[in-house]
A and B are shown apart, each in its own frame.
Chain A
């Protein structure tokens, strides 16, 4: 047993947070950023999701369910963060998002400039459409998984994604 790299006991809530953090935190923050266009806010939302996971671990106790739980928490958290941010500072949010894109370009990610218009268009989509689009084309989830994460039917996923894609199509076709 000495020095054996293995664990036989089931995960505790703390284990679960540690292991799932290592495996998924970065990906979830990236998902959050695509939904929110705000890195600090995205991190808050994802951290909230892990804290909630810790609280509910005794019910979940399963790594696969846990990831779905985290994803749902992030989608919900992002949606309510957007709602809270509200109409009042939507304009402020827009300009800071622009700065972020520019700053990233300066730090060497010139390729982002090529994507800028598309990302802007994704940001302007209604929340549900953006969720469906990001979960499908970034997270590469199945329709069932997207329905689960968004808490809607598969039919609704299909229609949100189709409407989102229709709104983006022209920009995509003309993008460099």
Chain B
């Protein structure tokens, strides 16, 4: 012990030092939400008109994994009170009975950077491999909810399946064509790698150690003749490939309650981003400078509670360049309140 220190102080010091080392996984809120949503779908009705708010609050998750967007089915009607929850709630790793659709993170491209949406993807069988394959299929197809998002993979690319060995994941692709869209080969690979890594957190794998690509069942040394694919694919640092500012919630076309939470994340200088919401005719109804929890190179996030009357809105977020004051990296989504 140091002079003047009591054994109790010394103990506090040690426990605190261990505790601050712990940084929770980024997808935690999404994982919790996925489980509570499944529960609701299994018959657990929300109280009151809150169901709409619930969808809105689909507040995302933390860091890279926000949240699911709109509920896949119609919202349960308002009920007078709580019903009995189904006794056996699914656990994170337990497979609900097939066929089923599951909310999974899916990466898309906008302006050469990665952005993520949560999609309800149908599964023929709810297995780890099928979850990852379905998320990759959704990603490569480019069927994003936000019309600004797309894919770097060529049209017609297919996903034969996924095989898992321990924590190593191999994605079997077909019809990869002769090049990525617009020649964005490295970005295409990151789109796939990020989707596999994120979807993997929704399986018993949790954290994939190695992600590989094979084509028509056979290993390939290079993808499109230039990207090394002979070994595990390298996941590029988030700051290099992810869009610097994300509007995680509300998602595109989400239905939000009157009181909802705008959830932003980004890797930006000093963690300062701008948030604006426009209503009918582009009229600005909400504007605020938002301080994220951290500045670049760390990923920061912020949740901003907002109350708005029913209507159609666009939420926009961006940062202002330190160099020339220009607006950079706008991410925006249209959504509905009420």
Chain A residues close to B by CB (< 8 Å): 1-9, 12-15, 17-18, 21-22, 25-26, 29-31, 33-34, 39-40, 42-44, 46-48, 50-51, 54-55, 58, 104, 109, 111-112, 114-115, 118-119, 122, 133-134, 137-138, 165, 168-169, 172-173, 175
Contacts and interface: CB of A to CB of B under 8 A. Distances in A.
B36 interface: yes
Contact of A7 (B15, B22, B307): B307
A122 B15 contact: yes
B73 interface: no
A168 B57 CA distance: 45
Given A3-B287, A138-B16, 6 more contacts: A1-B308, A2-B286, A109-B21, A115-B17, A115-B18, A119-B14
B304 interface: yes
Contact of A21 (B13, B25, B32, B285): B32
B101 interface: no
B25 to A, nearest CB: 6
Among B21, B39, B57, B259, residue most surrounded by chain A Cβ atoms (within 10 Å): B21
Interface residues of B, number: 58
Interface string B4-25: 0001101111111111111111
B1 interface: yes
A133 B11 contact: yes
A104 B22 CA distance: 10
B331 to A, nearest CB: 20
A138 B277 contact: no
B32 A12 contact: no
A137 B50 contact: no
Given A5-B304, A9-B50, A13-B36, A168 B11 contact: yes
Nearest to A120: B14
A31 to B, nearest CB: 8
B303 interface: yes
Contact of B44 (A30, A43, A55): A55
Nearest to B67: A18
- Closest 5 pairs between A and B when the two form their complex, measured CB to CB: A12-B50, A115-B14, A14-B54, A3-B286, A172-B7
B50 A30 contact: no
20 contacts: A3-B287, A3-B306, A6-B307, A7-B307, A9-B50, A9-B259, A12-B53, A18-B29, A54-B39, A55-B44, A55-B89, A58-B81, A112-B17, A115-B17, A115-B18, A122-B15, A138-B12, A165-B11, A169-B7, A172-B1
